[in-house]
Amino acid sequence: MANSGNEITNPRSGQRMIFRKTGKDTNGTMAEIESFNPPSQEREPEHVHPQQRSSCEVIAGTIHFHMDGKTHILKPGDSLEVPAGVPHYFWNESAEEAHTIQRFYPALEIDGFFKCYFAFARNGMLNEKGLPSLLRMSRPMLKYQNEIRTVNPPWAVQKAVFTALAPVAGLLGYKKTYE
């Protein structure tokens, strides 16, 4: 779990996050993360937060946000609410760094997921689509299934595969989370 003020960096994408408020700070009601995204055509995998409502508020720069089949271009002062379970992803294709505040309600363990995912990136464990191998991600995705899921294949398929692979991953020394 992260502490307020902790900063993490994803060397693959250049994204930096600062945990402003964690579940520990808010009794689990919310997590607030300051995010800095450099210009890039790279998009994160399309995903959902099955049990969390989230929001993105732009402080500086421009962020492109794809949700519900539409691309929203957010500029300073703009914000976007993402209901729980709605597929989305974002990227920054502008010429300057985008500075945003992201909030998640309730906090659950979203900070732990981000720390784990950025650790995968730091350790060169992500493929060209920004995902670790199925075997390596089986244990973390089961651990963080309430926080985040990719949308393809359907969750029932993913969960069956992860459940089958997790014991093998454990025997190989793969962890449930990375920092």
Which tens digits make up the pLDDT trace of 11-53? Answer: 988 999 999 999 999 999 999 999 999 998 888 889 999 999 9
H or E segment and range at residue 51: none
Region 158-170: what's the mean pLDDT? 98
Please report the domains of the chain, with CATH numbers, ordered by start residue.
Answer: 7-108 (2.60.120.10), 111-171 (no CATH)
Rounded to two decimals, what is the model's pTM?
0.93
Q: Is residue 151 a contact partner of residue 46, using CB atoms and an 8 Å limit?
A: yes
Which element (helix H / strand E) includes 119? helix 110-122
pLDDT over 80 at 1, yes or no: no
Q: What pLDDT is stored for residue 2 in this prediction?
A: 83
Helix (H, G, I), strand (E, B) or coil at 33: strand
% of the chain surpassing 70 pLDDT: 99
